[in-house]
Amino acid sequence: MKLSAQISRTVFLLGIVSLLNDLAGELIMAVLPVFLVSLGSAGWVVGLIGGLEDATKSLLSLVFGSLADRLGRKKPLVFLGYLIPSVFRIALPFSTHWAMALAFRVLDRVGKGMRTAPRDALIADAVTEMTRGANFGFHRALDTAGALLGAALAFVLFWWLGLPVPGIILVGGLISLASLIPLSFVSESVSAAQRKKLFDGLRELPKKFYLNLFGMAVFALANFSYMFFLLKVNAAYTDKLAVGLPIAMYVLYNFTYTFCALPVGMLSDKIGRRAVVLMGYLLFGVTSLGFAFAQGLELFVPFFALYGIAYAFIESNQRAFAADLAPPERRGTALGLFHMCAGFGSLLGSFIAGVLWGFSPALTFFYGAALAAVSLAFFVLTARWE
């Protein structure tokens, strides 16, 4: 089957929405630390904002995923989930104190928590199980391509065009608002509204979903922030290289992720989601082990490329797998629970990784490799228990 026949019109439009929105988000993130410093914030403020953003998004994913199932409609929540961040991104450059910026960023993440699970459920509903991997992979590829373009545009606007930081943030907000245009053309099949409560929906998810969710939650603990990988490169060099090489490696990671997401998603449609996710865990474990010993570009380059490939195997296919395991009328709840577990797991994993980093950077990566191996082993056993 040709690729054009596999990709749903709904998924194509949602992919364009994500590309524009992530372009805007990465454009803002590239200059946000500098902007916060200009408002008088300290280093702990940056950490506080990051933690509150992740916690808000993770918690609300379950709430709004369940609400989408109960309403029988997903698009209105997705629309609001993109509109709210756009409004507060436009307001962000007019902040006069870091506390205002903190509030705007947290409200930005409210939108992400509102849209993520309903949007993924909308993607799952728009396609068949036989093409779900390709469609999730296509969506993630465009999402990551937006991140790449956003980082590049931030550099162009600042370095070549001399736009001030608030101006760059405002451009990001306007691009984010423009992402609502393709979203307005997305259609959905409306189902009957349900009066069941959140916990009723959770009880109706099958045992096999929870078994596999546990394995994915264990991996989330291994999935600490990419910042630790960049810090390893930073620590190995001095002067300009200490800043420039981590940026270059981050671009390499995003490039391989973008390039591989779609073909890996198509592979999961052929050989099964579980097999592809297992491969991803294995690749992540190998990557973490490699970073434990890497000291120069001869290892940083291949292992950053492998890091992006591992994410292509894991990120979209975990979502597709969670959608496969849930009944259609509970997909929003299932994907919301998945995103909540993945988000809080990654937060806790990043905290543990940070503590281990204080003793030795190598311990951080040994920790990631060990938990990836545990989650891989659990997934293998789960296949026998179902």
Q: What is the pLDDT of residues 86-109, one digit of tens each?
A: 999 999 999 999 889 989 988 998
Classify 204 as helix, strand or coil. coil
- State residue 329's pLDDT score: 85
Q: At residue 22, does pLDDT exceed 70?
A: yes
Q: How far apart are the first and last CA of the chain?
A: 31
134 vs 265: CA distance, rounded Å: 4
Enter the pTM of the model: 0.84
Question: pLDDT tier at 198 (50, 70, 90 boundaries)?
Answer: low
**Which residues have CB under 8 Å from 244's CB, separation 6+?**
none
Residues 247-256 have a mean pLDDT of 84
CA-based nearest residue to 53, from 101, 4, 125, 17: 101
Residues 302-315 have a mean pLDDT of 95
Most confidently predicted of 81-85, 340-344, 353-357: 81-85
Q: Which two tokens stand for residue 278?
A: 């297992």
How far from chain centre, in Å, is Cα 255?
Answer: 15
Classify 330 as helix, strand or coil. helix
Q: Are the folds of 1-183 and 197-386 the same? A: yes
> Which amino acid, 247?
I
Q: What is the pLDDT of residues 151-190, one digit of tens each?
A: 888 878 887 888 888 999 999 999 999 999 999 999 887 7
- State residue 72's pLDDT score: 86
- State residue 188's pLDDT score: 85
- State residue 204's pLDDT score: 84
Question: pLDDT tier at 227 (50, 70, 90 boundaries)?
Answer: confident
- State residue 1's pLDDT score: 55
Question: pLDDT tier at 303 (50, 70, 90 boundaries)?
Answer: very high
Q: Name the CATH code of domain 197-386 (choices 1.20.1250.20, 1.10.3720.10, 3.30.70.660, 1.20.1260.10).
A: 1.20.1250.20
Q: At residue 16, does pLDDT exceed 60?
A: yes
Task: Identify the DSSP state of 190.
Answer: -
| CATH number, span 1-183 | 1.20.1250.20
CA-based nearest residue to 103, from 141, 52, 69: 52
Q: What is the pLDDT of residues 104-119, one digit of tens each?
A: 988 998 999 999 999 9
**Which residues have CB under 8 Å from 330's CB, separation 6+?**
69, 201, 204, 205
H-assigned helices in the chain: 3-6, 9-38, 43-71, 75-91, 98-126, 132-155, 165-178, 180-183, 198-203, 207-222, 227-236, 239-271, 273-293, 297-325, 331-359, 361-385
Q: At residue 308, does pLDDT exceed 60?
A: yes
Residues 44-64 have a mean pLDDT of 74
Domain boundaries, the chain: 1-183, 197-386
CA-based nearest residue to 90, from 177, 150, 197, 189: 177
